[in-house]
Amino acid sequence: MGRTLFSSLMLALTWLAWSGHFDARMLGFGGASVLVVLAITHRMERLSGMDHDPHVGPGILLYVPWLLWQIVKANVGMARILLAPRLLLSPQLLRVPTSQRSDTGRALYANSITLTPGTISLDLNNSSILVHALTLETAQALQDGEMDRRARRCEGRN
């Protein structure tokens, strides 16, 4: 029940922030939208046969701003490479170990890699992610493991 209330609140706040409408009719549409999304989500979870994955928690609130900053830095780095007279690309495939204990944590990490310009997750399994990196620097940053550690903290582990 607590999860449903939290989801309802987050959906409603997101709808309000994105719509900017506060008249009664639009608020009614927003409330109806929230209820439809909750009903569909509930049905999907029931039909999937999978238990809820409770491992990603409040740590995500610190992770998202950090990830956004990494995305900005990677965009600047990629722009610098593309504007350089001589491209400094050194594409490579590498396997990056994952330390997340849940499917949600591993998916968060793999998606974070893909969201960061210059890298893309190609394959995900329980212990590693196959990544294509455009430069040696982006590959080394992943091998450093900072993103892995921060994604692991979202699960409540250090």
Confidence of residue 22 (pLDDT cuts 50, 70, 90): confident
pLDDT score of 48 more than 60: no
- Non-local (6+) Cβ contacts of 145 within 8 A are 97
Provide the pLDDT for residue 70. Answer: 95
Contact 132, 110 (CB under 8 A): no
Is 21 within the bounds of a domain?
A: yes
Same domain, 28 and 79: no
Region 87-92: mean pLDDT is 86
Give the integer Cα–Cα distance in Å for 78 and 38: 39
Higher-pLDDT residue of 153 and 48 is 153
Say whether both 35 and 65 belong to one domain. Answer: no
Q: Strand runs (DSSP E) across the chain, as ranges?
A: 92-97, 119-124, 128-133
In the predicted structure, residue 55 carries a pLDDT above the cut 70:
no
Asked whether residue 27 carries a pLDDT value surpassing 80, the answer given is yes
Q: How many domains does the chain have?
A: 2
Give the domain extent around 146.
Answer: 60-153
Burial 10-30 (b: 16+ CB within 10 A, else e): ebeeebeeeeeeeeeeeeeeb
55 within domain boundaries: no
Burial 80-92 (b: 16+ CB within 10 A, else e): ebeeeeeeeeeee
Same-domain status, 126 and 68: yes
Model confidence at 1: pLDDT above 80: no
Mean pLDDT of 26-35: 92
* pLDDT confidence of residue 61: 86
pLDDT higher than 70, residue 46: no
Give yes or no: residues 44 and 69 share one domain.
Answer: no
Does a structural domain hold residue 15? yes
Residue 9 in any domain: the answer is: yes
- Distance CA(104)–CA(121), nearest Å, equals 15
Question: What is the arithmetic mean of pLDDT over 79-90?
Answer: 83
**Higher-scoring residue by pLDDT: 72, 43:** 72
Q: What is the pLDDT of residue 89?
A: 86
128 plus 81 within the same structural domain: yes
Main-chain dihedrals φ then ψ at residue 94, nearest 5 degrees: -145, 155
**What tokens does 5 get?**
């209330």
Whether residue 158 lies inside any domain: the answer is: no
